[in-house]
Amino acid sequence: MKKHKASAVRNDTIGLLKNSALPLSIENLLQLLQIIHPKTAFSTVYRIMKDLEAEKLVLRVDWSERGSKYEWGQRRHHHHITCTVCGETRDVDDTVVSFNLDHVTATTGFTFRDHYLELEGICANCHERTA
């Protein structure tokens, strides 16, 4: 694996990901980084994210209709639920959805390398507004 120099943009990207409660797209990261590094280019952030992903420091969350977002890879395993009206996203733990990987393995015969659940619905605020 190639060694990366610790640039200010790379370090601030890592800081943003570590401190974000939600996954961030490359576009989100670019907007935040341009506040402190105005000349930052999309290609720079893209390259940093690809490098961090290859180093297994970040995880890419692929949402079919919302594209890819990234989050710090050292967080506990979790999934996400997203409101289809306003886009609010929250973390959801396996235990909340009663997900048991051992049970899935026992009933399907599959050996898993990784897993994630993509949950969508309408948040309480949007539900109240549409009711």
CB within 8 A of 61, min separation 6: which ones?
23, 68, 69, 70, 71, 80, 116
127 pLDDT above the threshold of 80:
yes
**pLDDT given for residue 2 in this prediction:** 53
More confident residue, 112 or 35: 35
Distance CA 49, CA 70 (A): 8
**pLDDT given for residue 84 in this prediction:** 81
Closest alpha carbon to 12 in 45, 47, 54: 45
Distance CA 126, CA 131 (A): 9
For residue 51, what pLDDT band results from cuts at 50, 70 and 90? very high
114 pLDDT above the threshold of 80:
no
Mean pLDDT, residues 97-113: 82
Distance CA 106, CA 38 (A): 52
Q: Given CA atoms 121, 79, 102, 76 in this order, what sign does their dihedral have?
A: negative
Tokens 């886009």, residue?
87
